[in-house]
Amino acid sequence: GFGLNAQELPKLEKKETYKVGFAQTESNNPWRIAQTNSMKAEAEKLGHQLVYTDAAGSAAKQVSDVNSMIAQGVDLIFLAPREEKPLIPAVMAAKKAGIPVILLDRSVDPSLAKAGEDYLTFIGSDFVEEGRRMAEWLIKNADGKTKIIQLEGTTGSSPANDRKKGFDEAIQAAGGFEIVASQSGDFARDKGRQVAEALLQAHPDANVIYAHNDEMAIGAISAVEAAGKVPGKDILILSIDGGKEAVQAVVDGKIAAVVECNPRFGPKAFETMMRYANGETIAPILVNEDKFYDASNAAAELANAY
Ligand code: AHR
């Protein structure tokens, strides 16, 4: 038989169709739902059996979801790890069971698990670049608005860590800006609204809100209005994701700019799986392309937003 080498990635036997796991983190926003729909539609189109789980916002449940996929003998696991560290045991358990893992959209701590060794590859956006693009837009279009409140995503998740890093570095390098507060709104609309409300009270001079996703940006619109201020005029709101509701808010002038985070993973995910089964070498990171929306193109792009 095959000796199991600790350094080696599990292989994928060549078959017509597969039984594949997709371990989703939560389904509390349009981005997650668009991602899930894209995965389900592509699996159905290609005739693969998809074992789908929803961790409902719990990293512990997501670990047990992966363990149950292993017990069910899936051929490969697509994993969207909620946070960078707590999902390491799931990646390692799949490796030990001889099941290749492809990380989708979020990554795990690179010092604890490696692409091409512990998991096959990471497919998703460059979150550092998303944060940097948002900062670059602000640097060009601030028009005197320099006091920034940052609404961070889920603590310990790769998009929260990296969107902060890319943004903060570019803003610091530009000079003249100040991040007056930076706090997690857990990528959720109501949490984002509550945190924005509290931070606007603590920092009445703030005039920019940078939200790590649309849900928190939409929550921030309510918070700004509740504070008696006008979004887009008194306070610039910046977002990442690019769902229809946020792009419509750009058309309406309430959100100033959005960096897209492309949720359409299905075709690339299954194509990568088949390339691996065919013996191709897979790059450790496969980066998705993201668009950008502001007043110059939001109306024209609205129909294409997810
Ligand atoms: O990992 C991507 C992020 O997760 C999206 O920006 C957010 O909306 C989702 O929950």
pLDDT digits (tens, 9 = 90+) for 177-214: 999 999 999 999 999 999 999 999 999 999 999 999 99
Q: What is the mean pLDDT of residues 270-278?
A: 98
Residue 289 clears pLDDT 50, i.e. is over it: yes
pTM of this prediction? 0.96
Tell which one of 24, 27, 29 to mutate to probe ligand 1, the residue whose CB is within 8 A of the most ligand atoms. 29
Q: Helix, strand or coil for residue 32?
A: helix
Per-residue pLDDT at 173: 98
Q: How far is the CA of 78 from the centre of ligand 1 (A)?
A: 16
Average pLDDT over residues 132-150: 98
Sheet bearing 76-79, strands edge to edge: 49-54, 19-24, 76-79, 101-104, 121-124, 285-287
pLDDT tens digit sequence for 2-39: 445 556 899 999 999 999 999 999 999 999 999 999 99
Residue 58 CA, chain-centre distance (Å), reads 16
Q: What's residue 8's pLDDT?
A: 85
pLDDT at 191: 98
Spatial separation of the C-alpha atoms in residues 31 and 28, rounded to whole Å:
9
pLDDT at 7 (0 to 100): 66
CB 54 within 8 A of CB 33: no
At 60-105, the pLDDT tens digits run 999 999 999 999 999 999 999 999 999 999 999 999 999 999 999 9
* Percentage with pLDDT > 70 across the chain: 98
Count of CA atoms in the C-beta half-sphere (13 A) of 92: 9
Reading phi first (left if > 0) and then psi (alpha if -120 to 50, else beta), residue 235 is in: beta
pLDDT at position 4: 53
Q: Is the pLDDT of residue 251 over 60?
A: yes
1 falls in which pLDDT band (50, 70, 90)?
Answer: very low
What is the predicted pLDDT for the residue at 6?
57
Separation of 32 CA from ligand 1 center, angstroms? 7
Is ligand 1 within 6 A of the CB of residue 35? no
Residues 6+ apart with CB under 8 A from 253: 231, 232, 295
CB distance 189 to ligand 1 below 6 Å = no
CA pair distance 137, 129, nearest whole angstrom = 12
Contact 302, 248 (CB under 8 A): yes
Distance 213 CA to ligand 1 centre (A): 6
φ/ψ bin of 116: left (φ > 0), alpha (ψ from -120 to 50), beta (otherwise): left
For a ligand 1 pocket test, name from 261, 265, 291 the mutation site with the most ligand atoms within 8 angstroms of its C-beta.
Answer: 261
Tell me what pLDDT residue 29 has: 95
**Per-residue pLDDT band at 297 (split at 50, 70, 90):** very high
Q: How remote is the CA of residue 34 from the centroid of ligand 1, in Å?
A: 11
Give the burial string for 19-36 (b: 16+ CB within 10 Å, else e). ebbbbbbbebbbbbebbb
pLDDT, mean over the chain: 97
Model confidence band, residue 300 (pLDDT cutoffs 50, 70, 90): very high
Percentages helix, strand, coil for the chain (3-state, rounded to 5) are 40, 20, 40
pLDDT at 127 over 90: yes
Higher model confidence: residue 103 or residue 1?
A: 103
Query: Would you state the pLDDT for residue 219?
Result: 98
